[in-house]
């Protein structure tokens, strides 16, 4: 995973998007995205859950297999769902299941508090991407998706988290909904790439939920996302056109139908 540090050293921005199925993964791979994340965000944009806290390991395993089938060059990273890495032993056992499904690396949420889990996963030979800032798996305790790193004290905690995951061996760290200046400071302070989502322009790369990027989940769009397309609207048009065409077509009379051979 040294190549990711080298990208940062060269100033090359890292691109990352989510996928949960074969066709999306193949399109992302063909487009040249660097990292494809099988995120537990699939709980909301694919499975219809309220948040990520209902996602199971087997659901991520299932979707990881589909994504891997559509990927040839991008790095496939799979999320460890909530409560699958409560202990270092659990973290390793469940990370191995994701690697067995074809992922090349795993991601978990948490900084210094999860250093032991990160180190155990790395010791097992499994590359790991860390995730700090807003942690979606804690959204119920947090009472929503809130900006992190707004005060000097909060910024210091996040910096320590970033340094902890770097020291533990993570090859990159996601900064989710972190104040832009704090994200800039963290990015300058560590040697592994920071991959931002809603964290300003100073991270070493960016990740988005693909459904948000292309307008495929119109019922909720994060404030920090500017959709590049309106796929949902185009799909609605296609569905309505099909319904109109089908309902407007008269069935041929029985006598005009071909007789069975």
Please list the active-site residues. Answer: 176
Query: Which two three-digit tokens encode residue 59?
Result: 């659901």
Cα distance between residue 237 and residue 258, in whole Å? 33
- Residue 11, by phi and psi: left (phi above 0), alpha (psi -120 to 50) or beta? left
Closest C-alpha among 110, 153, 154 to residue 135: 110
Alpha carbon 36 to its chain centroid, in Å, reads 7
Distance CA 75, CA 103 (A): 8
The closest of 176, 130, 182, 181 to 155, measured between CA atoms, is: 182
Distance of alpha carbon 245 from alpha carbon 250, whole angstroms: 10
The stretches of 11-56 forming alpha helices (DSSP H) are 22-31, 42-45
Q: Rounded to an integer, what is the distance from CA 255 to the centroid of its chain?
A: 56
Q: Which two tokens stand for residue 149?
A: 């790193």
What is the distance between the alpha carbons of residues 74 and 50, in angstroms, rounded to a whole number? 29
């Amino acid at each position: 995973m040294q190549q990711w540090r080298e990208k940062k050293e060269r100033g090359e921005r890292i691109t990352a998007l989510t996928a949960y199925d074969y066709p999306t993964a193949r399109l992302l791979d063909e487009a040249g995205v660097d990292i494809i994340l099988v995120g537990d965000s699939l709980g909301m944009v694919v499975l219809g859950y309220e948040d990520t806290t209902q996602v199971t390991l087997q659901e991520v395993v299932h979707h990881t297999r589909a994504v891997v089938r559509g990927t040839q060059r991008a790095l496939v990273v799979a999320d460890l769902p909530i409560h699958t890495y409560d202990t270092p032993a659990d973290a390793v056992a469940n990370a191995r299941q994701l690697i067995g499904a074809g992922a090349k690396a795993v991601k978990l949420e948490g900084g210094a508090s999860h250093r032991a889990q990160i180190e155990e996963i790395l010791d097992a030979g499994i590359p790991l991407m860390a995730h700090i800032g807003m942690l979606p798996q804690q959204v119920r305790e947090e009472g929503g998706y809130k900006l992190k790193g707004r005060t000097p004290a909060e910024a210091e905690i996040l910096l320590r988290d970033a340094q902890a995951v770097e020291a533990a061996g993570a090859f990159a760290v996601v900064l989710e909904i972190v104040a832009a200046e704090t994200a800039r400071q963290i990015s300058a302070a560590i040697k592994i790439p920071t991959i931002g989502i809603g964290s300003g322009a100073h991270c070493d790369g960016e990740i988005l939920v693909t459904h948000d990027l292309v307008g495929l989940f119109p019922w909720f769009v994060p404030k920090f996302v500017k959709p590049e397309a309106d796929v949902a609207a185009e799909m609605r048009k296609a569905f309505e056109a099909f319904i109109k065409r089908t309902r407007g077509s008269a069935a041929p009379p029985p006598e005009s139908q071909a007789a069975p051979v």
